[in-house]
Homo-oligomer: A and B are copies of this chain.
Amino acid sequence: MRIAIIGLGLIGGSMGLALRKAKADLEVVGFARRRETASRAVELGAVDRTEGDLLAVIKGADLVLIATPVMAMKEIMTRIRESLDEGCIVTDVASTKAQVMGWAEECLPSLVSFIGGHPMAGKETSGIEAADADLFIGCTYCLVPGRSATKEAIDRVEGLVQQIGAKPLFIDASEHDMLVAAVSHLPMVISSALVSMTTKSPLWDDMSKLAATGYRDLTRLASGSPEMSRDICLTNREFILRWIDEYIEEMEKFRHMISEGSEELDEAFLQARERREGWLGMAR
């Protein structure tokens, strides 16, 4: 089996490492925009070899994995469409799914099985240097089969997901986007807004000395790739806006409870802790 990975950043690189670790009888061919990235991917063992050209990398591939920033995906689909082998599987790793599913429908030939993917894993660091063969172990891996996807192709992708240690979850594209907007994209905005507000304050010089692990953790997502964050906002705008509104409303409620010094505040903190602990217990 030959797998072509287009885009060798944190996720593309980690997929290469994880797949090669899990399956011996596999050839992984990679493509990266920048030559240095491609050679580092080979050195790190994320791919067997690279090609300097999009059409060369997908040649003879049984599965093409698109792991570029989401806003680059439509162009890539358009450029590779004529050269994909019949029966080939195409998948992606974008954080938003409805837009990508639409592009796949529009751009890819119907003899290709498109199965959207989104591993719920990440790191604050980006790029091939941060790639990690164990990044997907235990994580939920969303799968959204396209209309033309065959049963066989779906099974194959599901099998690969399991082989890298992740838990496949079949989900509708729009439902996916709505849910991750709340638990992943909103936190990213919250994190960046906190950095933005504090660091532009005239008090930041003094504040920065007192900022500790709490601040560090709350702002971790602000260190993610800015290009990826922007792309997520542009391709999942409506749901993100909806959750930002709900979140601001919730902050207003906390503001009110603090201002009143009301007993509901006790209850609110207590409940937040219990519910988070419940989630952690379930997630383990």
Contacts and interface: CB of A to CB of B under 8 A. Distances in A.
Contact of A250 (B196, B222, B240, B253): B196
B254 A244 contact: yes
Interface residues of A, number: 90
Nearest to A138: B212
A57 B105 CA distance: 74
B241 A255 contact: yes
Contacts of A245: 255
Given A182-B203, A248-B251, A273-B223, A214 B187 contact: yes
B251 A211 contact: no
Interface stretch (A19-27, A38-46, A150-158, A261-269): A261-269
Contact of A206 (B175, B253, B266, B283): B175
A197 B250 contact: yes
Interface of A: 120-122, 139-140, 142, 169, 175-176, 178-180, 182-184, 186-199, 201, 203, 206-224, 226-227, 229-230, 233-234, 237, 240-241, 243-255, 258-259, 261, 265-266, 268-273, 275-277, 279-280, 282-283
Given A212-B120, A221-B214, A223-B273, A233 B258 contact: yes
Contact of A247 (B194, B206, B220, B268): B194
B241 A258 contact: yes
Contacts of A226: 266, 269-270, 272-273
